[in-house]
Structure 1
């Protein structure tokens, strides 16, 4: 990925280069000072000092922008902004009105590098200094209207960007913490369940093993009975563990619908989902297969489709073989997902899962995007939607 998300720092050289290039685009408004240095009729010494001052200004301005959201020392940032303002003042007074544009960058840097409680004072301060110098520098009054509004709007817009970055970072950290806590809670719950399931069985196995060991020399028939009991207890314990693990892994359609809402919204796709269905009477295997189908379809929409809208429908259809529960997921994307004759591993595995549940899978392109349809036996379920 070449871009950098909001609140994320560049992780490699390419991302750093992209961020530098995006920030450097706005340096195009420095064309007026550059033109003044090239065609303003200044002496060579003045030109050298002007170029040096401009380069130092731009480098320090870029550094302040890259410090956005990093919690830097406020005193250092204020000092840096004061130096930039002083440098802009000197350049505007000595070289002319074209250099008043530097105060727009001072205001923007204030909004980007300072918290709002300080930026709400420094941005108007930079704008006021811009206005005062425009009244002093020859011909500067004609620049006030064109520079004052960008300085104020640009500066306060950057405060919004800074707050957005702070909020995004906080949300990302909170989400990671919640995921970590949820994983820990799941491990603890599984540990508790396994302890409850196996504690009694293992204790009984240990006791009967000791009894069999003591009975073996003199009472082999009784020892054999104890061994048979151990086998029975062990088999039951194995069944209990398998049921516990299967229960943890079984996908639920209601939960997957809620997850699809979150995933599609986060990816910028408008979701159209059915209301929470009544799945009373639906075999667990059928519900699990549809849940996996919904997860795979939504994953493909988010990763590959480039869609702006995704519609999910859940219908009960009446066929000669009985009631069929049909899940359809359709998007309006144009992203490539391979030809229908060469399905990916996800669709292949999903088709096998549906066949195991007695269902079937259809997937392919439509006139406006891509559509996936999964059907499974519905059992004695009541109608959850209309269907022929």
Structure 2
């Protein structure tokens, strides 16, 4: 079925305009919004600072309306928006050029509009978002010097010679602090990814070495024994049978070693989980304290569930707690392993939500206990306790003993 021409024409008319509009205001990948993936902070700040143009109109309007200053002020709005938006959506290397354009508009408008110095301050404040803080300070200094002859020429209040640099410094300082935090978070994420990559590479190399050590000699022995059994099969059947029995024994032994190696690969590591917890929380702006004593050694059957419990607790802090500080304390007291995970977040952790039930099940299998103290808006503390005598046994036996003790009681 053919499409009516009147339905196609609007699409043809809107397509190029919409595409051009999108290209005009789409952030460049190397721009502030592109590099920081369009954070809300920059969008809100850009929107709020656009209201400064209201002050550029209202301040001189208090002395009376005149097209002598209103006409160039309205014209400057176009240039103001052009340079201002380009500071956010164009490559960072062009920020200085756009800031200079904004300063030039302010200097040209200043003799006609007494509030045009606001353009100079906005240019300096936004340039604090530039990666180079020296360039920002240099811009503040140059802008302040350029304001001196204009103030003297139009006989403006001398206090502006102090207002322009001080406002530029104090206003830009918040931008500088924000961008420093953003860059540190980015560096931390990169370092976290690098740690994971190196850990993966090291694990692959270890697996390769283990498999070579486990299977290299064994498979060579199996090949030799099998070849010998093939040669003996026609001459001495009993000897060939003995060789094949030896091959079977060697193969079963190798299978057991491979299973043990795979179990070691899959087991949890409490120390590694602590490192991952620190990386995750600090990447979220949560300061992590505490640690684990070097002398504390746990059976792998116990360490794996405890590592998963720690992971779940840290994930809850990361996702739900809205905390600024957290602490993990691991110790062995009175024949009992203890792990205490606390934060200063919003609290209110449900007794059976957020993975708590899974943590309880894992600890119940070890004969351990889980205690939660989570008052609303006063943080959360999770205390894990596993008897050392029970933790030395396999988890199934520990659970059976605990159930038997409970039945006897």
TM tier, smaller: 0.7 to 0.9
- What is the aligned partner in structure 1 of residue 110 from structure 2? 92
2:305 is aligned, of 271, 282, 289, to 289
Provide the C-alpha distance between the structure 2 equivalents of 1:37 and 1:177, rounded to a whole number of angstroms.
56
Greater relative contact order (Cα < 8 A, sep 6+) = 1
State the distance in 2 between where 1:306 and 1:164 align: 18
From 218, 233, 243, the equivalent of 1:216 is 233
1:371 corresponds, among 362, 373, 381, to 381
The aligned counterpart of 1:29 is 52
Map 1:77-156 → 2, pairs under 5 A: 77-94=95-112, 96-113=113-130, 115-141=132-158, 143-155=160-172
> Which moved further from structure 2: 210-219 or 196-205?
210-219
1:179 aligns with 2:189: no
> Offset of 1:97 from its aligned partner?
0.9
The 1:114–1:317 alpha-carbon spacing in structure 2 relative to 1, beyond 3 Å, is closer
Q: How far apart in 2 are the matches of 1:211 and 1:111?
A: 79
Gaps of 5+ in 2: 1-31, 392-409
Match of 1:384 in 2: none
Moved more, 150-159 or 180-189: 150-159
Tell me by how many angstroms 1:287 deviates: 3.5
1:250-290 Cα shifts (integer Å, max 9, x gaps): 3333444454445444434444525615325x434233333
Contact 1:328 1:371 in 2 (8 A): yes
Post-superposition shift, 1:103?
A: 0.9
Answer yes or no: is the 8 Å Cα contact 1:270–1:308 preserved in 2: yes
From the superposition, tell whether residues 343 and 364 of structure 1 become closer, same or farther in structure 2 (CA, over 3 Å). farther
User: Which residue in 1 is equivalent to 2:82?
Assistant: 59
* In the alignment, structure 1 residue 195 sits paired with structure 2 residue 222: no
Partner Cα distance (2:289, 2:131) in 1: 41
Counterpart position of 1:41: 65
CA change 1:241–1:336 in 2 (3 A) is farther
Change (3 A) 1:168 1:270: closer
Please give the secondary structure, in 2, of the residue aligned with 1:97. coil
- 1:198-347 matches, cutoff 5 A: 198-273=215-290, 276=293, 278-280=295-297, 282-314=298-330, 316=332, 323-334=335-346, 337=349, 339-340=350-351, 342-344=352-354, 346-347=355-356
CA RMSD of aligned residues (A): 3.5
Unaligned segments of structure 1, at least 5 residues: 1-5, 382-388
Distance 1:113 1:355, change over 3 A: closer
Shift of 1:373: 3.0
Q: How many residues align?
A: 358
Aligned counterparts of 2:66 and 2:81: Cα–Cα separation in 1: 21
* 8 Å CA contact 2:342, 2:382 repeated in 1: yes
TM-score (norm 1): 0.77
